[in-house]
Amino acid sequence: MIYTVTFNPAIDYVVHMSDELLAGMTNRTLSEECYFGGKGINVSTVLKNLGYYSTALGFVAGFTGTAIEESVKKRGIGADFITLPEGISRINVKIKGKEETEINAQGPVIPEFAINELFDKIRGLQDEDILILAGSIPSSLPSDIYERILAFLEGKNVRTVVDATGDLLKKVLKYRPFLIKPNNHELGEMFGKTLTTIEEYKEYAGKLRDMGARNVLISMAGDGALLLTEEGKAYSMPAPKGTVKNSVGAGDSMVAGFIAGYLKSGSYEEALKMGTAAGSATAFSEDLATVDQISALYNLISGKES
Protein backbone atom coordinates (compact mmCIF):
# COMPACT_ATOMS: atom_id res chain seq x y z
CA MET A 1 0.00 0.00 0.00
CA ILE A 2 1.10 3.55 -0.72
CA TYR A 3 0.44 6.36 1.76
CA THR A 4 1.01 10.07 1.29
CA VAL A 5 1.08 12.72 4.01
CA THR A 6 -0.07 16.30 3.50
CA PHE A 7 0.28 18.24 6.73
CA ASN A 8 -1.32 21.45 5.47
CA PRO A 9 -3.64 20.80 2.49
CA ALA A 10 -5.24 23.74 0.73
CA ILE A 11 -7.74 24.99 -1.77
CA ASP A 12 -5.94 27.04 -4.39
CA TYR A 13 -8.29 29.76 -5.66
CA VAL A 14 -6.83 30.87 -9.00
CA VAL A 15 -8.08 34.09 -10.56
CA HIS A 16 -7.12 35.32 -14.02
CA MET A 17 -6.98 39.04 -14.78
CA SER A 18 -6.37 40.88 -18.03
CA ASP A 19 -4.36 43.60 -16.34
CA GLU A 20 -2.22 44.14 -13.28
CA LEU A 21 -3.60 44.02 -9.75
CA LEU A 22 -4.46 47.53 -8.54
CA ALA A 23 -4.08 47.97 -4.79
CA GLY A 24 -6.89 49.88 -3.10
CA MET A 25 -9.18 49.50 -6.14
CA THR A 26 -11.92 47.13 -7.22
CA ASN A 27 -10.39 44.48 -9.52
CA ARG A 28 -12.44 42.19 -11.74
CA THR A 29 -11.42 38.78 -13.00
CA LEU A 30 -11.65 37.12 -16.38
CA SER A 31 -12.10 33.63 -14.92
CA GLU A 32 -11.56 31.61 -11.75
CA GLU A 33 -10.76 28.01 -10.83
CA CYS A 34 -10.40 26.06 -7.61
CA TYR A 35 -7.87 23.29 -7.12
CA PHE A 36 -7.99 21.03 -4.07
CA GLY A 37 -4.73 19.59 -2.89
CA GLY A 38 -1.31 19.98 -1.37
CA LYS A 39 1.92 18.19 -2.24
CA GLY A 40 1.06 14.74 -0.86
CA ILE A 41 -2.45 14.89 -2.35
CA ASN A 42 -0.91 15.85 -5.70
CA VAL A 43 1.28 12.74 -5.52
CA SER A 44 -1.76 10.58 -4.71
CA THR A 45 -3.70 12.10 -7.63
CA VAL A 46 -1.02 11.38 -10.22
CA LEU A 47 -0.49 7.88 -8.80
CA LYS A 48 -4.23 7.27 -9.26
CA ASN A 49 -4.05 8.60 -12.82
CA LEU A 50 -1.28 6.04 -13.44
CA GLY A 51 -3.34 3.21 -11.95
CA TYR A 52 -1.88 3.04 -8.42
CA TYR A 53 -4.17 3.40 -5.42
CA SER A 54 -2.96 5.26 -2.36
CA THR A 55 -4.30 6.58 0.93
CA ALA A 56 -3.89 10.26 1.74
CA LEU A 57 -3.09 11.10 5.35
CA GLY A 58 -2.89 14.51 7.00
CA PHE A 59 -4.98 17.13 8.75
CA VAL A 60 -8.12 19.00 7.65
CA ALA A 61 -10.37 21.51 9.39
CA GLY A 62 -13.64 23.34 8.84
CA PHE A 63 -15.76 23.61 5.70
CA THR A 64 -12.69 23.90 3.50
CA GLY A 65 -11.28 20.72 5.00
CA THR A 66 -14.55 18.93 4.22
CA ALA A 67 -14.36 20.13 0.62
CA ILE A 68 -10.75 18.94 0.29
CA GLU A 69 -11.61 15.51 1.69
CA GLU A 70 -14.62 15.13 -0.61
CA SER A 71 -12.48 16.10 -3.60
CA VAL A 72 -9.88 13.49 -2.71
CA LYS A 73 -12.53 10.77 -2.41
CA LYS A 74 -14.07 11.73 -5.76
CA ARG A 75 -10.69 11.12 -7.42
CA GLY A 76 -10.73 7.52 -6.17
CA ILE A 77 -8.04 8.13 -3.54
CA GLY A 78 -8.33 6.77 -0.02
CA ALA A 79 -8.91 9.62 2.46
CA ASP A 80 -7.86 9.01 6.05
CA PHE A 81 -7.46 12.57 7.31
CA ILE A 82 -7.58 13.71 10.92
CA THR A 83 -10.25 16.36 11.41
CA LEU A 84 -9.12 19.18 13.67
CA PRO A 85 -11.61 20.74 16.12
CA GLU A 86 -10.81 24.38 15.27
CA GLY A 87 -9.85 26.56 12.33
CA ILE A 88 -10.19 25.94 8.60
CA SER A 89 -7.92 24.36 6.02
CA ARG A 90 -6.11 26.91 3.90
CA ILE A 91 -7.43 28.89 0.97
CA ASN A 92 -4.50 30.17 -1.10
CA VAL A 93 -5.19 32.94 -3.59
CA LYS A 94 -3.23 32.86 -6.86
CA ILE A 95 -3.67 36.00 -8.97
CA LYS A 96 -2.56 35.65 -12.60
CA GLY A 97 -2.35 38.82 -14.66
CA LYS A 98 0.58 40.72 -16.13
CA GLU A 99 2.41 39.53 -13.03
CA GLU A 100 1.63 36.62 -10.73
CA THR A 101 0.77 37.30 -7.09
CA GLU A 102 0.23 34.64 -4.45
CA ILE A 103 -1.34 34.92 -1.01
CA ASN A 104 -0.76 31.71 0.94
CA ALA A 105 -2.64 31.17 4.19
CA GLN A 106 -1.15 29.62 7.33
CA GLY A 107 -3.77 26.95 8.01
CA PRO A 108 -5.15 25.61 11.29
CA VAL A 109 -3.22 24.94 14.48
CA ILE A 110 -2.40 21.23 14.84
CA PRO A 111 -2.57 20.20 18.52
CA GLU A 112 -0.49 17.46 20.14
CA PHE A 113 -3.36 14.96 20.31
CA ALA A 114 -3.82 15.20 16.53
CA ILE A 115 -0.11 14.51 15.99
CA ASN A 116 -0.49 11.41 18.17
CA GLU A 117 -3.44 10.29 16.03
CA LEU A 118 -1.26 10.56 12.93
CA PHE A 119 1.39 8.37 14.54
CA ASP A 120 -1.32 5.83 15.43
CA LYS A 121 -2.21 5.62 11.73
CA ILE A 122 1.44 5.33 10.70
CA ARG A 123 1.89 2.53 13.25
CA GLY A 124 -0.31 0.36 11.03
CA LEU A 125 2.05 0.44 8.04
CA GLN A 126 3.37 -2.96 6.97
CA ASP A 127 6.53 -4.28 5.34
CA GLU A 128 6.94 -3.10 1.73
CA ASP A 129 4.43 -0.26 2.20
CA ILE A 130 5.50 3.13 0.84
CA LEU A 131 5.15 6.35 2.82
CA ILE A 132 5.60 9.64 0.93
CA LEU A 133 6.28 12.82 2.91
CA ALA A 134 6.18 15.96 0.79
CA GLY A 135 6.55 19.66 1.38
CA SER A 136 7.16 22.11 4.17
CA ILE A 137 5.51 21.84 7.56
CA PRO A 138 3.18 24.34 9.26
CA SER A 139 4.53 26.34 12.18
CA SER A 140 2.27 24.56 14.67
CA LEU A 141 4.07 21.26 14.07
CA PRO A 142 7.43 20.44 15.68
CA SER A 143 10.29 21.23 13.31
CA ASP A 144 11.60 17.65 13.59
CA ILE A 145 8.32 15.97 12.59
CA TYR A 146 9.81 14.27 9.50
CA GLU A 147 12.70 12.97 11.57
CA ARG A 148 10.29 11.69 14.25
CA ILE A 149 8.22 9.84 11.66
CA LEU A 150 11.22 8.08 10.10
CA ALA A 151 12.60 7.22 13.54
CA PHE A 152 9.18 5.82 14.46
CA LEU A 153 9.31 3.52 11.43
CA GLU A 154 12.89 2.37 12.01
CA GLY A 155 13.08 -1.40 12.07
CA LYS A 156 10.08 -1.80 9.75
CA ASN A 157 10.67 -2.48 6.09
CA VAL A 158 8.66 0.57 5.01
CA ARG A 159 10.02 2.43 2.01
CA THR A 160 9.98 6.16 2.75
CA VAL A 161 10.08 8.96 0.20
CA VAL A 162 10.95 12.49 1.35
CA ASP A 163 10.42 15.52 -0.87
CA ALA A 164 11.68 18.35 1.33
CA THR A 165 14.57 20.78 1.57
CA GLY A 166 17.29 22.05 3.89
CA ASP A 167 17.64 20.70 7.41
CA LEU A 168 14.21 19.09 7.14
CA LEU A 169 15.73 16.75 4.56
CA LYS A 170 19.25 16.47 5.97
CA LYS A 171 18.04 15.27 9.35
CA VAL A 172 16.20 12.24 7.93
CA LEU A 173 19.09 10.91 5.86
CA LYS A 174 20.44 8.80 8.75
CA TYR A 175 17.21 6.75 8.52
CA ARG A 176 18.05 5.75 4.94
CA PRO A 177 14.96 6.93 3.06
CA PHE A 178 14.24 4.99 -0.11
CA LEU A 179 14.07 8.17 -2.21
CA ILE A 180 14.68 11.89 -1.78
CA LYS A 181 13.94 14.54 -4.43
CA PRO A 182 15.44 18.00 -4.05
CA ASN A 183 15.66 20.17 -7.14
CA ASN A 184 19.01 21.42 -8.42
CA HIS A 185 18.73 24.80 -6.67
CA GLU A 186 17.75 23.21 -3.36
CA LEU A 187 20.67 20.80 -3.71
CA GLY A 188 23.12 23.68 -3.89
CA GLU A 189 21.46 25.56 -1.03
CA MET A 190 21.85 22.54 1.25
CA PHE A 191 25.62 22.84 0.91
CA GLY A 192 25.90 26.62 0.56
CA LYS A 193 26.99 26.28 -3.06
CA THR A 194 25.85 27.56 -6.43
CA LEU A 195 25.81 24.52 -8.70
CA THR A 196 25.65 24.90 -12.47
CA THR A 197 26.92 21.73 -14.16
CA ILE A 198 25.76 18.12 -14.29
CA GLU A 199 29.07 17.01 -12.77
CA GLU A 200 28.50 19.32 -9.79
CA TYR A 201 24.96 17.97 -9.39
CA LYS A 202 26.32 14.42 -9.41
CA GLU A 203 28.99 15.30 -6.84
CA TYR A 204 26.61 16.83 -4.33
CA ALA A 205 23.81 14.34 -4.93
CA GLY A 206 26.46 11.74 -4.13
CA LYS A 207 27.10 13.46 -0.82
CA LEU A 208 23.42 13.08 0.07
CA ARG A 209 23.61 9.41 -0.82
CA ASP A 210 26.75 9.06 1.32
CA MET A 211 24.80 10.64 4.18
CA GLY A 212 22.22 7.86 3.99
CA ALA A 213 19.72 8.36 1.16
CA ARG A 214 19.31 5.18 -0.88
CA ASN A 215 18.28 6.91 -4.10
CA VAL A 216 18.67 10.61 -4.91
CA LEU A 217 16.49 12.13 -7.62
CA ILE A 218 17.38 15.68 -8.68
CA SER A 219 14.79 17.58 -10.72
CA MET A 220 16.33 20.20 -13.00
CA ALA A 221 13.28 21.85 -14.63
CA GLY A 222 13.96 22.27 -18.37
CA ASP A 223 17.24 20.38 -18.06
CA GLY A 224 15.47 17.16 -17.06
CA ALA A 225 16.44 14.99 -14.12
CA LEU A 226 19.37 13.16 -12.57
CA LEU A 227 19.21 9.95 -10.53
CA LEU A 228 21.89 8.40 -8.34
CA THR A 229 20.85 4.93 -7.26
CA GLU A 230 21.64 2.73 -4.29
CA GLU A 231 23.33 0.42 -6.80
CA GLY A 232 25.95 3.10 -7.45
CA LYS A 233 24.67 4.01 -10.91
CA ALA A 234 23.93 7.48 -12.26
CA TYR A 235 21.28 8.16 -14.88
CA SER A 236 20.38 11.49 -16.48
CA MET A 237 17.25 12.18 -18.48
CA PRO A 238 16.71 15.27 -20.67
CA ALA A 239 13.33 16.96 -20.39
CA PRO A 240 11.02 16.61 -23.39
CA LYS A 241 10.25 19.81 -25.28
CA GLY A 242 7.01 21.64 -24.61
CA THR A 243 5.40 24.87 -23.46
CA VAL A 244 5.42 25.27 -19.70
CA LYS A 245 1.96 26.31 -18.51
CA ASN A 246 2.12 25.36 -14.86
CA SER A 247 4.98 24.63 -12.48
CA VAL A 248 2.71 23.78 -9.53
CA GLY A 249 2.68 20.05 -8.92
CA ALA A 250 5.41 19.18 -11.43
CA GLY A 251 7.79 17.95 -8.71
CA ASP A 252 4.99 16.01 -7.02
CA SER A 253 4.13 14.44 -10.37
CA MET A 254 7.77 13.43 -10.83
CA VAL A 255 7.71 11.62 -7.48
CA ALA A 256 4.47 9.85 -8.39
CA GLY A 257 5.76 8.87 -11.81
CA PHE A 258 9.01 7.56 -10.36
CA ILE A 259 7.20 5.38 -7.81
CA ALA A 260 4.72 4.10 -10.40
CA GLY A 261 7.52 3.36 -12.86
CA TYR A 262 9.56 1.53 -10.25
CA LEU A 263 6.62 -0.55 -9.00
CA LYS A 264 5.77 -1.53 -12.56
CA SER A 265 9.27 -2.38 -13.79
CA GLY A 266 11.59 -2.79 -10.79
CA SER A 267 14.06 -0.70 -12.82
CA TYR A 268 15.43 2.61 -11.60
CA GLU A 269 16.12 3.71 -15.17
CA GLU A 270 12.50 3.08 -16.16
CA ALA A 271 11.36 4.83 -12.98
CA LEU A 272 13.39 7.88 -14.00
CA LYS A 273 11.79 7.89 -17.45
CA MET A 274 8.28 7.72 -15.99
CA GLY A 275 9.11 10.35 -13.38
CA THR A 276 10.47 12.71 -16.02
CA ALA A 277 7.43 12.12 -18.24
CA ALA A 278 4.99 12.74 -15.39
CA GLY A 279 6.72 15.89 -14.16
CA SER A 280 6.93 17.32 -17.65
CA ALA A 281 3.33 16.40 -18.50
CA THR A 282 2.06 18.37 -15.52
CA ALA A 283 4.32 21.32 -16.40
CA PHE A 284 2.79 21.34 -19.89
CA SER A 285 -0.79 21.17 -18.53
CA GLU A 286 -3.14 23.51 -16.69
CA ASP A 287 -3.66 20.88 -13.98
CA LEU A 288 -2.06 17.63 -12.85
CA ALA A 289 -1.25 15.36 -15.78
CA THR A 290 -3.53 12.59 -17.01
CA VAL A 291 -2.35 9.10 -17.88
CA ASP A 292 -2.63 9.84 -21.62
CA GLN A 293 -0.45 12.95 -21.31
CA ILE A 294 2.14 11.06 -19.28
CA SER A 295 2.12 8.06 -21.61
CA ALA A 296 2.67 10.24 -24.68
CA LEU A 297 5.78 11.83 -23.14
CA TYR A 298 7.02 8.51 -21.76
CA ASN A 299 6.85 7.03 -25.28
CA LEU A 300 8.68 10.06 -26.65
CA ILE A 301 11.43 9.74 -24.03
CA SER A 302 11.69 5.99 -24.65
CA GLY A 303 11.69 6.33 -28.43
CA LYS A 304 8.48 4.33 -28.78
CA GLU A 305 5.55 4.87 -31.12
CA SER A 306 2.77 6.74 -29.30
Q: What is the pLDDT of residue 304?
A: 64
Q: Using pLDDT thresholds of 50, 70 and 90, give the confidence band for residue 22.
A: confident
Decide if 212 is inside a domain. yes
Can you tell me the distance from the alpha carbon of 77 to that of 303, in angstroms, rounded to the nearest whole number? 32
Q: Which domain holds residue 252?
A: 2-9+38-88+106-302
Quick: pLDDT tens for 159-201.
Answer: 999 998 888 899 999 999 999 999 889 999 988 988 888 899 9
For residues 46 and 252, the answer to whether their CB atoms sit within 8 Å is yes
Decide if 27 is inside a domain. no
CATH of the domain at 231: 3.40.1190.20
Percent of the chain residues topping a pLDDT of 90: 70
Percent of the chain residues topping a pLDDT of 70: 99
Can you tell me the distance from the alpha carbon of 72 to that of 229, in angstroms, rounded to the nearest whole number? 32
Decide if 19 is inside a domain. no
Q: Is the model's pLDDT at 305 over the cut of 60?
A: no
The Cβ of residue 229 has, within 10 Å, a number of other Cβ atoms equal to: 18
Taking CA 124 as the corner, what is the angle to CA 82 and CA 165, rounded to the nearest 5 degrees? 65
Q: What is the pLDDT of residue 239?
A: 84
Nearest residue to 216 (alpha-carbon basis) of 162, 145, 137: 162
**Rounded mean pLDDT, 24-48:** 93
For residues 48 and 34, the answer to whether their CB atoms sit within 8 Å is no
Decide if 242 is inside a domain. yes
**Rounded mean pLDDT, 153-161:** 93
Quick: pLDDT tens for 76-103.
Answer: 999 999 999 999 999 999 898 888 888 9
Decide if 97 is inside a domain. no
Q: What is the pLDDT of residue 218?
A: 93
Indicate the average pLDDT of the chain: 92
129 is catalytic: no
Q: What is the pLDDT of residue 306?
A: 43
Q: Which of 210, 252, 287, 292 is catalytic?
A: 252
Q: Using pLDDT thresholds of 50, 70 and 90, give the confidence band for residue 244.
A: confident
Decide if 258 is inside a domain. yes
Q: Using pLDDT thresholds of 50, 70 and 90, give the confidence band for residue 220.
A: confident
**Rounded mean pLDDT, 255-284:** 95
Decide if 98 is inside a domain. no
Quick: pLDDT tens for 116-146.
Answer: 999 999 999 999 999 999 887 888 898 899 9
Question: Considering its fold, how many domains does the chain have in total?
Answer: 1
Nearest residue to 131 (alpha-carbon basis) of 57, 59, 184: 57
CA distances from 221 to 69, 145, 209, 276 (A): 30, 28, 21, 10
Decide if 272 is inside a domain. yes
